[in-house]
Amino acid sequence: MTSLLALVGAPAALDDHGVRALLAPAGMADDATVALHRPAPDVVLGVASPAWDERAEHRVATDGRYTVIAHAALFYRDALNAALMRAAEPPLSREAPAATAILAAVRAWQWRAVDHLEGEFAFVAWDAKEHVLFAARDHSGARTLFHADIGSGIAVATRLRQVRAVPGCPHGWNVIALCEDAADIDLAVPTETACTAIHRIPSGHALQWSAERKGSVRRWWEVPVFEQDSGVPFEEGAEELRRLLAEAVAERTDLPRGTAVMLSGGYDSPAIYAAGNWRLGSGGSGAALRSVSFSHPAGDPGREDELIEATTRRWGAEPHFIPIGDVPDFEPSLARARRRDEPIYHSYELWNRALARGCRHEGAHVALNGNGGDPWFSTSPVFLADLLRQGRLLEFRREWKVLLGRVTPYRVFKTAVQPNLSPAILAALAWVRGGRPLSDHHVRHPPAWIADPLRRSRDLLARRRIDWPRRRGEGLSALGRTWFLRASYPERITALVFAICQGEGVELRTPLLDNRIVRFAATRPRWESNSGRQNKHLLRYSMRGLLPDEVVAPRAERTGTPVTYLGRTLRAHLREGREGFGAGMLLADLGVVDHRKLLEEVDSYLAGRSDDLERAHALLTALQAEWWLRSTE
C-alpha cells in the first residue's frame, strides 16, 4: 500500500537505503515507486507507491520553503481554485497531483490549509523557514498517520509498523490499549496505540511539531451537532440530498481507472450506484459505474440477489456476483497478521478482500462503498429518551408501541429514563447500591477471560466511563450519531478495510462520508431518519425514480445479514487459535488475558454450548490480537 514517512532530527540520520527499506519493506512489489526528498540535513520525507497507483514522485511537492508528501484524493477542485484565487494564488489544473494542490493551499493559508481541502487524505508538510512539521488527516479516517518522539526528533508515517522500525523508537507495549483491542471494546483514548511510544493522529486531527515546542495534536474538523432542523421541507431536502450524493459520487469516480460500487441490496450502496449513474449520464450504453456483489443461496439470511439485480438492471447493467461459497472461510492468521498494522481485527477481512478482487476482475482500481449511511440517515431507539425528556408523551407512547411493544416500568427506566440521568445522580444510585453502578448496555465491559488484575484495575475501569458531554442543543439521539465521527473504532475499521483493498490494488472511497453530505445530514430533523418501524425516510425518498420501488420500499425485516458466513469463519479461526495457543499466549504473559479461561470459552463455543456470535467475535478478536503480537517478534 502507499506509505508516507517523515523523519526529523536524529531519525533523519538514516541513509537513503535505510529510509527506502522503511518505506518499501520486504514483500512490497518490486515495481513499486519510491521518492525521497531532503529539504534539510536533518529532515527527510519519502513516499512509496504501488505500481497500480499514482507514482511516488507525484506524491511529493516542494517550492523551496514548504515540502508536502501526500496520500490523498482531493475533490471539488473548482471550489479550491476559487479560494486560491481569492488568496492571490494561481488556480490549479484538474490534473494537478493532490500533493501539488495541498502545497498551494499550504502556501496560501499555511496550516489553516486543511479548512479549504475537501477529500480523503493524509499528508505531512515541512516548513523549512520555521522548522515546523505539520501532519493532518481528513475526517473519514481511511488514510492513517502515526508518530513517535525519538530523541529530540520525530517520526511520522502511514503505518505503525514503520514508526516502530525507525532506529531508536522504544518498543514497550501499552497493556491497557492492548486489552481494549483484545477484548473487542473501543479504544478509549483515540490517540493511543498498542505501542506506548507511538501515537495516532485521529481522523479530523492535525499534528504540529517543532524541536522547541514538541508535538501537539488538535481537532481541526469540527463534528457538527445533528438533528438541527433547518426548516427546509422534506421534499426539498430529498432533492438536495440527491444532488449532493450525485456530486459526491461523481467527484470520487475515476472512469479511466475504472470505478465499481460494492453493491448490497440495502439502501446506502444502491443510492450511491443510482445517484452516480444518474449524474454521470448513464444511458443506453449501460451504467458508467460497475458493481460487485455477493450472491447467497435462496433462504440464506444474507441473500439480497433479487434487490441487487433490480438495482443494476434499472441502469441497463447486469450485476457481477461473487458466489458466497467462493469466499474462503479461513486463511492462516499469522501471515495475514503480518500485513495488519494494529491488533484490531475485522471478522469480514476475507469477505472484503474478495470484494476488492471482484473490483479488479471488473477492471476497476477505484471502489465506492456505502459506509456512513447508518449514522446520517438512521438513529437508534435512544431518541425515545429525548421524547420523554421533552415531555412529548403522546409521541413517546406511539413510537414506543411500534418499536418496542409492551410498556413496562423496567424497560422505560432502562431505555428512556437512565440515559437522561446526570453523572451525579448515577453516582448517587451506585452508592445506594453498595458501589455497584447501574448496568448500561451502551458500555462494553471487559469479558471474564481478561486477566482479573487488569479487568478490575482502576485505570481500565475509568476508561470505560469516558464520555462526551452534550453540546448546546444536542439531544441523546444527536449525540449518538457523533459516535461514528468521534470514537476510535469506526475510523480504525474504515482504515483497516481501506488497507485490505489497497493490498488488492483497489483504492476505496466513501461518498457518504463527504463533508458536504455530513453537514447537510446534520440539518435534518430526527423523524426523517426513524419514525415507527421505518428508517432512512429521506434517503429512500431521494432515490425515487432512480431506484426500483421494491428497492426503496420499507421492509418488514432486515435483509442482507450474512450470519451463515460469519458463523463459518468464526468457527474456522477459533479452531485455529485453539490448536495454536494451547501451550501459552503472549497476551497471558503480559497480563492481558487469563489463558485458561479464554481457552475454556473457545472450547465452549466450538462444542456448541454457546451460540452467541457477539461473544464468539470477542474471542476471535483476542486470538487475532495474539497472532498480531507474534507477528511483531
Would you list the domain boundaries of the chain?
Answer: 3-219, 234-319+347-377+487-552
Give per-residue pLDDT as tens, 402-435: 888 888 999 999 999 999 998 889 889 888 888 7
pLDDT-derived band at 462, boundaries 50, 70, 90? confident
**pLDDT value at residue 466:** 66
**pLDDT value at residue 492:** 96
- Alpha-carbon distance of 232 to 258, in angstroms, equals 37
Q: Which three cell numbers stand for residue 320?
A: 457481477
Higher-pLDDT residue of 466, 419 = 419
**Percentage of the chain with pLDDT > 90?**
84
Is the pLDDT reported for residue 60 higher than 60? yes
**pLDDT value at residue 26:** 60
To the question of domain 234-319+347-377+487-552 being in CATH 3.40.50.300, the answer is no
Give per-residue pLDDT as tens, 314-346: 999 999 999 999 999 999 999 999 999 999 999
Is the pLDDT reported for residue 498 higher than 70? yes
Same CATH fold assignment for domains 3-219 and 234-319+347-377+487-552: no
- Alpha-carbon distance of 536 to 528, in angstroms, equals 7
> What number is the average pLDDT over the span 476-480?
92
Give per-residue pLDDT as tens, 148-204: 999 999 999 999 999 999 999 999 999 999 999 999 988 889 999 999 999 999 999
Q: Which three cell numbers stand for residue 230?
A: 433547518
Q: Note the helical H segments in 59-97.
A: 77-86
Please count the residues of the chain: 633
Is the pLDDT reported for residue 461 higher than 90? no
User: CA triplet 520, 522, 527: central angle to 5 degrees?
Assistant: 110
Long-range contacts of 344-347 (CB under 8 A, 24+ apart): 344/181, 344/489, 344/492, 344/493, 344/496, 344/621, 344/625, 345/620, 345/621, 345/624, 345/625, 345/628, 346/493, 346/496, 346/497, 346/500, 347/566, 347/569, 347/570, 347/617, 347/620
> What number is the average pLDDT over the span 544-569?
92
Is the pLDDT reported for residue 610 higher than 90? no
The torsion region of residue 180 among left (phi > 0), alpha (psi -120 to 50) and beta comes to alpha
Give the three-state DSSP class for 579: helix
pLDDT-derived band at 28, boundaries 50, 70, 90? low
To the question of domain 3-219 being in CATH 3.60.20.10, the answer is yes
> What number is the average pLDDT over the span 549-557?
90
**pLDDT value at residue 359:** 98
Q: Give buried/exposed letters for 532-554 (b at 16+ CB in 10 A, else e).
A: eeebbbbbbbbbeebbbeebbee
**pLDDT value at residue 603:** 96
> What number is the average pLDDT over the span 236-257?
97
How would you classify the pairing of strands 320-323 and 290-295? Answer: parallel
Give per-residue pLDDT as tens, 273-313: 999 999 998 654 567 999 999 999 999 999 999 999 999 99
Is the pLDDT reported for residue 482 higher than 60? yes
Phi, psi of 202, deg, nearest 5? -65, 160
pLDDT-derived band at 29, boundaries 50, 70, 90? low
The answer to whether the CB of 304 falls within 8 A of the CB of 558 is no
- Poorest-confidence range of 190-199, 496-505, 612-621? 612-621
Is the pLDDT reported for residue 576 higher than 90? yes
**pLDDT value at residue 285:** 56
**pLDDT value at residue 282:** 61
CA 76 to chain centre: 22
**pLDDT value at residue 445:** 81
pLDDT-derived band at 531, boundaries 50, 70, 90? confident
Higher-pLDDT residue of 191, 446 = 191
DSSP helix, strand, coil percent of the chain (3-state; round to 5): 45, 15, 40
Is the pLDDT reported for residue 25 higher than 80? no
**pLDDT value at residue 328:** 96
- Alpha-carbon distance of 332 to 328, in angstroms, equals 11
Report field, pTM of the whole predicted structure over 0.75: yes
